[in-house]
Amino acid sequence: MRVLITGGAGFIGSHLCEQLVGRGDKVFVLDDLSTGRFENIEHLTDVETVIDTCLNQEVVRDMVREVDVVYHLAATVGVQLVVDEPIRTIVNNIRGTEVVLEETCRYRRRLLLTSTSEVYGKGSKAVFGEDDDRVIGPTSRHRWCYAASKAIDEFLALAYWHEKRHPVAIVRLFNTVGPRQMGRYGMVIPNFVQQALNNEPITVFGDGQQSRCFTSVLDVVPALVKIMDDTSICGDVFNVGSKMRASMEELAKMIIERTGSKSEITFIPYDQAYGPGYEDMRHREPCLEKINKAIGYEPQYTLEQILDGVIEEMRGQEA
């Protein structure tokens, strides 16, 4: 199979490259190296990479024509980046996906679109199911532009299926973590681990009682491939995540313990962390019944294993 991965040099994209190359696929990557890094895939010598953005429609068209299927992962991600650069977030995420949809539809190439659990917004449900209502904050709070842009992507992809029978599938990823994820754009686990390894204060935002369910990238990637491979799945949305819920305070404690760090926990108000008017979501846990039924998905990695993997990688980088 010939495969295009947009965002293939990123954290999740590079793990996807590895899996597909490993099973003998011919992989092409389109990545503008904005948050991705070529180092993530340079060990994969058979991968052909074009350094450009999905906003460049001619390049997308040329690449899509050469492949059988497309995984669209390229996006502006990371809460810090979204808050700092909302124009870039909105334009890249909406226009980039529009281009990929136009070109994959033109050549009728099956498309898997990666969306996010952020689309559920700040709803107070204990567990989020794919058809639940979304609760998004006001447009004056930049954080929500990410959720809104990804929701538009989903609307558009589903419209392409509905109106043109363009074969697309959508996954909503819940806090995917693992090796190669960078803390630079806000993601909590690489940040906490780096702070712990440096014996610096662990910066827990808010009261630390907000919780997330963390998923190993090594569970996420096989799920993406299974959904892509099952061509009967079209015009549908799936949560991909885990039920391993931890509060940020618990997470900080686990990381201190597992690294043997001397770090202390320090609580930082949200407006100090992200600027005035920031809104966080309290808890976020996926319902996994739909994905389980569709492809037999069950995450294998425990939070402890995920953390140990990240700690080991970051220790290696220091050595």
- Catalytic residue at 274? no
Query: Which residue, chain included where needed, has tokens 């739909």?
Result: 290
Residue closer to ligand UDP, measured from CB, 175 or 242: 175
9 belongs to the binding site for ligand UDP (CB under 6 A): no
**Residue type for position 300:** Q
198 belongs to the binding site for ligand UDP (CB under 6 A): no
Residues 6+ apart with CB under 8 A from 140: 277
Contacts 24+ apart (CB under 8 A), 290-297: 290/129, 290/130, 290/238, 290/239, 291/223, 291/238, 291/239, 291/240, 294/227, 294/230, 294/233, 294/236, 294/238, 295/223, 295/226, 295/227, 295/230, 297/223, 297/226, 297/240
Among 71, 146, 160, 274, which one carries the catalytic annotation?
146
89 belongs to the binding site for ligand UDP (CB under 6 A): no
**Residue type for position 12:** I
187 belongs to the binding site for ligand UDP (CB under 6 A): yes
Residues 6+ apart with CB under 8 A from 252: 192, 202, 204, 208, 265
Which one of the spans 36-44, 149-157, 199-207, 230-238 is the region binding ligand UDP (CB under 6 A)?
A: 199-207
Question: How many whole angstroms separate alpha carbon 45 and alpha carbon 19?
Answer: 14
Residue closer to ligand UDP, measured from CB, 173 or 233: 173
Residue closer to ligand UDP, measured from CB, 99 or 188: 188
Q: Which of 5, 64, 79, 193 binds ligand UDP (CB under 6 A)?
A: 79
212 belongs to the binding site for ligand UDP (CB under 6 A): yes
Contacts (CB under 6 A) with ligand UDP, residues 267-286: 280
Residue closer to ligand UDP, measured from CB, 91 or 182: 182
Residues lying near ligand UDP in the complex (CB under 6 A) are found at: 79, 175, 186-188, 191, 203-205, 210, 212, 248, 280
Instruction: List, by residue number, the catalytic residues.
Output: 146
